[in-house]
Structure 1
C-alpha cells in the first residue's frame, strides 16, 4: 500500500477508537480523573496501536509467518486491560467486563482497518458503538421480556437460519409444482408478521401497534397479513385494532401495486394510478379512524403466544394450495382466459398478476390490461374478506369488508370517470 493509503487506514483506526472512547467516556463522565479504565484518549490509542501492529506485521513478517506481531500486541493489551479492569472491579464492587472486551475489540478493529477491509472495519466499529450506547434500552427490553416471547424469537431464528437452508428449493408436482422452501418461507413470513404485531401491540398499544404491524406486513404480503390479523382478532378484546392492521395492509398493497405498474409499464401505471391511490388513501383513512375510536376503549389483550405455530402452518398451507390451483387454472385456460386467470391468481397474490400483465402489454390493449389488473385487485380484496370471515372474528370481517367495498367502489368511480375503461 502507498503512503496515502497507510494514512487513510491509520486515520480510520483512530476514528474507530475515538468513537468508542466517546461513548465509554460519556458513560463515566462523572468519575474523577484517573477513576476510569479508559476514555477517549485511551481507546483512540488502543485502536491506533492495533493499526501500528498491523503495519509492523506486514513489514516485519513479509514472506514469513504473518500475524505473530498482532497476536503479541493483542495479548499485551488484553493483559493490561484485564489488570486495570480487575482493580476497578475490586474498588467499585462491579462485575462488568464490557470496557475490557470493548478495548480488545477496538484493538482488533484498528488492526483490521490497516490489514483488511476498511468498509468492514468501519461498519463493525459503528455497530459496536451502537451496541454500547444501547445498554439501557437492551437491559430494559430484557427485563420486560417473558419466556414465551424469548422462545418464540428463538423458534423464528431457528426456522430462518437452521431449518430453511436445509429445505429443497426445487418444486414438486404438476403445473409448476410446489416448492418446499417457498412453503417454509411463507410460514416464517406469517410467523414474523404475527410476532411483529405482538411486539408492536406490547410497546405501542393495541390499536396503534396493529396499525403499524399491518402497514409493515402489507409491504410484503397483504394476504398473509390479513390472515395473521384475523387470527389475532379471535384473542383481541377489541376487533378494531386487528381490523385497522388488515385495512392498513390492504392500503399499502394498493399503493405498492400502483408504483409497481408505473415502474414496469408506465402507460398502464398512469391509467391505474388515480383509482388505486384514491382506494388506498380511503382505506388508510378508515384504518386511522378505527384506531382513533378503538384506542379509547380497552386495550387489546395480548395472546398467550406471539404466534401459534400450528395455526401459522395451516395458513401457509391454505395460501400455497390456492396459489397452486391458480397456476393450474392458468395453464388450463391459456392466454384466452386472462380475466379468469387474473381473478384466480389474485386469490393468493395480486403482484403475480401485475407483473404478468405488465410483461404482456405489447400483446394486449391498454383497456384489456387495465381490466385484468382491476379484476385481480378486486378479487384479491374480496378473497381477503372471505379469509377474514373464515379465520377471524365477525367484527373483524365486517370492518374489513366495509372498508374494502368503499375502496373498490371509489377506485372504480375514479377509473371510469377518467374514461380509462
Structure 2
C-alpha cells in the first residue's frame, strides 16, 4: 500500500465519521454547546481513530497478517468509555438511556478500520447504510407503532421461506420434459407471498386503490400473472374487488412495457412491428387502471386491509402456475421449433418472458414478421389467460374489469399491429 493510497483510505475513514456525525449533530442541534454527546468533530475523530488503530495493527503484524489484538483492545476500551459517559450524561439529565449513539460510535470505529485495512467499497457502503438507518428513526418508530401481529407473522414466514427453506431445496429439475425445480417452485411461492405482502403494506400506507395499483405495478415488473392470480383470489375474500382489479390491470400494463424493453434490447429488428402495439395496449391498461383506482378509492374508503396472505392459498396458486408451466414445457419438447406458435401460446399461459427470450434468440432464422407474431401471440394468450384466471378464481366484478381491460387492450394492439405490418 503506497502513501497516496494510505492517505486516501484515512480520508475515507474520516469522511465516514463525518457524515455520521452530521446526522448525530443534527439530532442534538438544539442542545446548548458543551452539552452535546457527540457531533461532527467527534465522529470524524472516531473514524480516524479506527483508521489509526488499523494502521498500528498493520505495522505490528509480523507476517503481514494482522492478529487483531490492537483493534480489539481499542474497540473494547472505546466501547466501555463511550457507554459509561453516555450513561452518566443520561442520568444527569434525567432522561432514558439510549444505546443508539454508542452503537453508532462502535460502527464508525469499525468502518474506519475497514477503510484502511479492508475493502474501501464495503467501508463506504457501510457508512451510507449506517447514515440511512440513523436518519430513518422517525420512520421506524412510526412503523413499529402501526405494526400488527398479522404483519409481523407474515414477515417472519416470508423470511423463513426465503432464508431457511429455500437454501436447502435442490435447484435441479425433477421429472420428465425438463422437470420442475423444487427451489424454483418455492421461489414462486415466495414471489406470490411477497406480492401479497407488498400489496398489503402499500394499501396500509396509500389507501385501498392507490396501494393496490402501486403494488400491482411493482409486481408487474417481476410476474404480472402472479399478481393477477393473487388479486383474483383476494377479490373473493375481501370487499375490494375494484381496487384489486386496478392492481392486476396495472401489473399487466407494466408487463407490456417490460416486454417491449426486452424486445428492443434483444431483437431491435422487430421493434417497428411490435412496439407500437405493445405501447398502445399498455396505455389502454394504464388508463383503465387509473380510472378504477379513482373509483375504487371512493368505494372502499376507510376499509382496513385484511391478513397479508394465507400461506395455504398462496401454495395452491403457485402449484397451479407450476402445472401450467410444466404442460407448456412438455408441449415445447413435443412440437419443437416447428410448433413455435403453439409453444408461444402455451408459454403465455404462465409467463411471457420465456417466449420472448426464446423467439428473440431465434431471429437469425426467423423473419421479423414471424418473430413479432410469435411474441404477440404469447402476449395475447397471457392477457386472455389472466382474464380466465380472474373468472375462475375471482369475484364477478373483478373478472368483468379484467376482461374489459384485456379485450380493449387487445383490440388496440391488433389495430396498431396490422397498421404497421
**Contact persistence 2:57–2:66 (CA under 8 A):** no
Correspondences of 1:166-315 after superposition (within 5 Å): 166-299=168-301, 301-315=303-317
Aligned residues: 419
- Please tell me the root mean square deviation across aligned C-alpha atoms, in Å: 1.4
Normalising by structure 2, report the TM-score. Answer: 0.97
CA distance in 1, matches of 2:95, 2:366: 77
Deviates more, 1:212-221 or 1:238-247: 238-247
2:103 corresponds to which residue?
A: 101
Structure 2 vs 1, CA of residues 214 and 377 (structure 1 numbering), >3 Å: closer, same or farther? Answer: same
Q: Identify unmatched segments of 5+ residues in structure 1.
A: none
Partner of 1:361: 363
**CA deviation string 1:182-207 (max 9, x = no partner):** 10000000000000000000100000
Structure 2: gaps (5+ residues): none
1:110 and 2:112 correspond: yes
Task: Report deviation, 1:299.
Answer: 2.5
In the aligned structure 2, how far is the partner of 1:346 from the partner of 1:11?
Answer: 55
Q: Which residue of structure 2 aligns with residue 404 of structure 1?
A: 406
State how far apart, in whole Å, the 1-side matches of 2:202 and 2:390 are.
21
Report what 2:19 is aligned to: 19
Quote how far apart the aligned CAs of 1:276 are. 0.6
Q: Which residue of structure 1 lines up, in the alignment, with residue 379 of structure 2?
A: 377
Q: When the two structures are superposed, what TM-score results if normalisation uses the length of structure 1?
A: 0.97
Is 2:65 aligned against 1:61? no
- Where does 1:388-399 land on structure 2 (aligned, <5 Å)? 388-399=390-401
- Whole-angstrom distance in 1 between the partners of 2:224 and 2:327: 19
Residue pair 1:187, 1:312 contacting (<8 A) in 2 also = yes
Following TM superposition, by how much is the alpha carbon of 1:258 offset from its aligned partner in structure 2, in angstroms?
A: 1.4
Equivalent of 1:156, from 151, 155, 158? Answer: 158
Task: Indicate conservation of the 8 Å contact 1:197/1:213, yes or no.
Answer: yes
Look up the match of 2:41.
Answer: 41
Displaced runs of 4+ in structure 1, greater than 6 A? none
Give CA-to-partner distance per residue, 1:122-159, whole Å, 9 cap, x none: 11011011101111110110110001100100111111
Of the candidates 144, 147, 150, which is equivalent to residue 146 of structure 2? 144
* Structure 1: distance between partners of 2:76 and 2:342: 71
Cα distance in 2 for residues equivalent to 1:393 and 1:130: 43
Q: Which residue of 1 aligns with 2:31?
A: 31
1:319 is aligned to: 321
